[in-house]
């Protein structure tokens, strides 16, 4: 019987269009950072390169966008490559060198992405569409987010929900209308 080998590396490969996307300079406002997260979510759907979720990280000290990510779970075959985990992973060691970062995401993060943000030391999480919007589109966001949010809030993480909610929800609807596959855990 042949022995299976263990994978030794995983790669995050942004779509070419996102790798070439010019990130805004310093002093980016909350609204502009959220516009970026929603715009790349919509572009990910329009180009058929992944799910309807986008995220970016902003350095709290100077307002610079330090990374951006889109959902690559289906495109990569890697279920942990949600927009938030992609943005956090691409920021990597730069996160520790910063005084704090804010995560902007086109939809309220699932529990996996909340956990990743917690471990990365994110100080604030700003979301557009809600968990209810994602579930209305057919995604099963799972349990536990309320409890983890409460724990993170108790440790000083600030949550701001609903910034550009209609635009974030529109990206979810566009994905469904374009025939995008609903993926993730089933209720």
Residues whose CB falls within 8 Å of the CB of residue 141, separated by 6 or more in sequence, listed in order: 108, 110, 111, 131, 134, 135, 184
With CA atoms as reference, report the closest residue to 53 among 95, 94, 112: 112
Cα→Cα distances 128→11, 31, 41, 78, Å: 28, 10, 11, 24
Q: Annotated catalytic residue: which of 43, 84, 141, 167?
A: 84
84 is an active site residue = yes
Distance CA 108, CA 48 (A): 22
- Answer whether 63's CB lies under 8 Å from 28's CB: yes
Cα→Cα distances 134→24, 120, 165, 170, Å: 27, 24, 11, 10
115, burial (CB in 10 Å: exposed 0-12, middle 13-18, buried 19+): middle
Distance CA 118, CA 116 (A): 5
- Catalytic residue ranges: 84
């Amino acid at each position: 019987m042949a022995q299976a080998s263990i994978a030794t590396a995983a790669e995050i490969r942004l779509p070419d269009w996102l790798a070439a996307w010019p990130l805004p300079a310093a002093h980016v406002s909350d609204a502009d950072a959220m516009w970026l997260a929603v715009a790349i979510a919509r572009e990910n759907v329009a180009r058929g390169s992944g799910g309807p979720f986008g995220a970016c990280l902003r350095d709290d000290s100077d307002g610079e966008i330090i990374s951006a990510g889109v959902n690559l779970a289906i495109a990569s075959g890697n279920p942990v490559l949600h927009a938030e985990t992609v943005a956090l992973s691409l920021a990597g060691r730069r996160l520790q060198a910063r005084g704090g970062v804010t995560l902007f995401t086109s939809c309220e993060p699932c529990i996996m992405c909340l956990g990743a943000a917690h471990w990365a030391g994110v100080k604030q999480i700003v979301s557009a569409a809600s968990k209810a919007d994602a579930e209305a589109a057919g995604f099963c966001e799972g349990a536990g987010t309320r409890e983890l949010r409460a724990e993170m809030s108790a440790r000083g993480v600030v949550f701001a929900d609903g910034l550009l909610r209609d635009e974030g929800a529109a990206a979810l609807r566009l994905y469904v209308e374009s025939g995008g596959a609903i993926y993730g855990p089933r209720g």
